Structure 1
């Protein structure tokens, strides 16, 4: 007979000698006696848990047959099995068993939460670790009893199983080792067995399958989407489109049959959450010092800025850096469809941040096109105005968000947004098109809104470094939006990068009124004077 471990159970009785040997093997087996003895939970430094409160009291729990033991915080990942260069675990795990043990731990955790409804996130994770030890020890005992100690998982496999279960519950499951690779920026999954990783250098590499089938992949993504409680989202054949933020600041977009032949998942990993304009100058070469000083003054002067670029060009990272030029005591409200900015996680950089997120509705659309339970970006904006917001940051503008963006720029002191566009001039046309389509207005109205409320458009692009051959992100243009011929506004470049050498130079001076406001905010106008080589000093 075969049990859940995949091992064949022996049906013949054991004699006394064999029973004694088996008992001895069980005693000799390296089983953890407390939570610290399992390799996954051993180590000197804790795992970084987003939003963890350092003051959270550690739980005291009781395992089966043990006395009371205090649960420690999650410990560092053992480098022995944290994943090689290709992100794979050095042991081959039985993922069907991982799923079964995860379900056991989830049920135990649910029972614990019923008994203690006020558990914090850190306490939940510490309690889950204790349950993970229990179920792994029970599984090892079953394996020893059914097939002998030599067939049981060794400590390295137990460690990997513990990590896999923990990751499935609180992180990204089988995808977590891929996300943990420091150079991976994008993960593209075209069905369970067609997986590609894009690295910071621009290189793409194929990766091993991340599930046993498309159905298994769908189930894993659906679990990730649904575990958010009230903020959880559905991912099924009737809800085949999914957009969500992930633990650690990544973002997931997915589609599934019937609207695509196979499930397609894209995970974008934001490596630089807490970053400044100076960091982008010194460490990444994204812009020059004069450009950094110009943008810093623009933010301080309360100018509204749209950051434009292609997907994965670095728009969100630049918006974070721009936000870090704001006064730490300014009251900021961020409005996003999927949380990506995470300004509320930057400690002393921003003391008063309210991060609002769109909520999709469920069921059939009503007569006004909305779904029951849906909370739109415009509704979030109206609430933001009641929250004493001094700065309102609207995330990516893709459609109806354009109305929220314009209202935020009218109501706040210098708003920030991002937009998909290939140039500042193209950004103006795209915003005009979105305005006409979303608000059913004329082009004259759309152009007037753009001219009145947007001060600068910053274009970011991915380019290949001529010296190193690596892909990097740079600001290719900073343009001031001003009146043009007729009703259409124009984008006048202040700084511009050469399309071939990528050298960033001064192109024009801003309007006198604008320059005076920037100087008042601390900008040195001498930084706009080109050097003999054409680059700003």
Structure 2
């Protein structure tokens, strides 16, 4: 990619191919699942039929462009392939934005007409077996490479078809890398390691794009290599560096309304798969009941993520989700306080909110008023830590009840001498 002087971003080096050439290759490959060799031969043959010869310098780029047009996201595919891009947002044929290195940037990509954008959305939805038309004008889908697609057709979308593509990266960051980029304060590493080692049940919270999945993957990499981790997700985003991870993926109903397998059902199946740790990629519905039940039946070391603005908002979020499963506020407080030991809350900060950081470690408890999440440790943007009212309960859970401080960089009132926690990254 190259950043243009005008401020736009566009994929570099992609050839402009005529629509009839792409259509001819598509027709030639209709009904097949072409591999690289088949695609190369089809492009060469179609070009030859038109009296053109693609040299060794042009052919690879032409094949890549045809692959994107037929099997990928068309002109948007180079953005999905760029490791710096996390989201691609289409508001119109010439109104395409990408989140590049954590900052939204407008591109100069031209997708053609409104009908071309609609056709692209319909084709991408069909790649996941989803229907997108006037009868079903919205869709959530998962592309073959794991990219998450959300699309809305007019008139539900105000003018043009709207597309949102969330890129799933195969590479995960290790804990030392998270420390280096400022996501995790060095003084918190020992606490996090201790939480994994004592098999605490963890709830990772934060807004969309705050880094919940990235942090969770780094934590799971610390799990013993003799442990079996069963991961349950809507899309395969979580990729911990661990030798024994099995994955269960939810499936939406097909165009005929059949074949749906939801997260709650997968949690129940996971219990029969001899898990050492059960991990739910994201709690966003009634499946929270099954997760809390699983973590209350001897399956310790489990993890889940949830959307929340602050750690203090987690109780309200859990109550809202549990209500979808028919649980009362009192039942939710009883289940959640027994199921989860700690909340790890991330937020986006810094100029343009481009930096992701672990801002708070909190403990979960129950009071007469209901579920309570109490801050144990909070970090500021410079990495300085401060103990909160939940610190003693966290220390007790980690088996370090005699500890008086987190280590260098920690502030407290009154000051105390530093004592290291856990192991280094």
- TM-score of the aligned structures, taking structure 2 as reference length: 0.85
Q: Distance in 2 between matches of 1:263 and 1:433?
A: 31
1:89–1:177 CA contact under 8 A, matched in 2? no
Q: Does the 8 A contact of 2:97 with 2:104 survive in 1? A: no
Deviation at 1:223, TM superposition (A): 2.9
Instruction: State the match for 1:415 in structure 2.
Output: 302
Question: Are positions 1:133 and 2:40 aligned together?
Answer: yes
1:528 aligns with 2:406: yes
The alpha-carbon distance between structure 1 residues 103 and 464, as it changes in their structure 2 partners (threshold 3 A), is: farther
Q: 1:350 aligns with which of 237, 243, 246?
A: 243
Report how far residue 355 of structure 1 moved: 1.1
Structure 1 residues 346-369: Cα deviation after superposition (integer angstroms, max 9, x where no partner): 4xx232x221111122468xxxxx
Residue 435 and residue 290 in structure 1: after superposition, are their counterparts in 2 closer, same or farther (change >3 A)? Answer: same
1:381 aligns with 2:267: yes
**For 1:483, what is the secondary structure of its paired residue?**
strand
Per-residue deviation at 1:332? Answer: 1.6
Partner of 2:121: 221
Gaps of 5+ in 2: 1-7, 421-425
- Name the structure 1 match of 2:338: 452
Q: Measure how far apart 1:315 and its partner are.
A: 1.2
Rounded Cα–Cα distance in structure 2 between residues aligned with 1:446 and 1:91:
56
> What is the CA–CA distance in structure 1 between the aligned matches of 2:286 and 2:225, rounded to whole Å?
30
Q: Does structure 2 conserve the Cα–Cα contact (< 8 Å) formed by 1:394 and 1:408?
A: no
Q: 1:154 to 1:321 in 2, by over 3 A?
A: same
The farther-off stretch of 377-386 and 89-98 is 89-98
State whether structure 2 residue 180 is matched by structure 1 residue 311: no
Taking the aligned partners of 1:363 and 1:90, their CA distance within structure 2 comes to: 34
Query: Following TM superposition, by how much is the alpha carbon of 1:480 offset from its aligned partner in structure 2, in angstroms?
Result: 0.9
Contact 1:190 1:263 in 2 (8 A): yes
Structure 2: how far apart are the matches of 1:426 and 1:515? 23
Q: How far apart are the structure 2 equivalents of 1:350 and 1:103? A: 42
Task: Provide the secondary structure at the position in 1 that maps to 2:229.
Answer: strand
Shift of 1:301: 1.4
Q: Which has the higher helix share?
A: 1
Partner Cα separation in structure 1 for residue 73 and residue 304 of structure 2: 28
The residue correspondences of 1:28-67 to structure 2 (distance < 5 A) are none
- Partners of 2:364 and 2:163 in 1: how far apart? 37
Q: Deviation at 1:247?
A: 4.6
Gap change, CA 1:173 and 1:278, over 3 Å in 2: same
Q: Which residue of 2 is the match for residue 267 of structure 1?
A: 165
Partner of 1:298: 195
Q: 1:235 to 1:297 in 2, by over 3 A?
A: farther
Distance in 2 (alpha carbons) for counterparts of 1:350 and 1:424? 31
Quote how far apart the aligned CAs of 1:280 are: 0.7
* 1:280 equivalent among 178, 186, 198: 178
1 CA distance for matches of 2:112 and 2:282? 34
Partner residue of 2:50? 143
What is the DSSP-based 3-state SS (H/G/I as helix, E as strand, rest coil) of the residue aligned with 2:87?
Answer: strand
Give the alignment's Cα RMSD to 1 decimal.
3.0
* C-alpha distance in 2 between matches for 1:527 and 1:103: 68
Of the structure 1 ranges 218-227 and 372-381, higher mean CA displacement relative to structure 2 is found in 218-227
Q: Distance between the aligned counterparts of 1:102 and 1:363, measured in 2? A: 23
Matched, 1:472 2:355: yes
Distance (Å, rounded) in 2 between the aligned partners of 1:333 and 1:515: 28
Q: 1:66-113: per-residue Cα shift (whole Å, max 9, x none)?
A: xxxxxxxxxxxxxxxxxx962144532224422431332244x35xxx
Please give the secondary structure, in 2, of the residue aligned with 1:355.
Answer: strand
Three-state SS of the structure 2 residue aligned to 1:275 is coil
Q: Could you tell me the TM-score, scaled by structure 1's length?
A: 0.68
Classify the secondary structure of the residue corresponding to 2:316: helix
When structure 1 is superposed on structure 2, of 189-198 and 273-282 the one drifting more is 273-282
Higher share in strand: 2
Q: Residues of 2 paired with 1:170 and 1:519: CA distance? A: 53
2:376 to 494, 497, 500: 494
Q: Would you say how many aligned residue pairs link Structure 1 and Structure 2?
A: 406
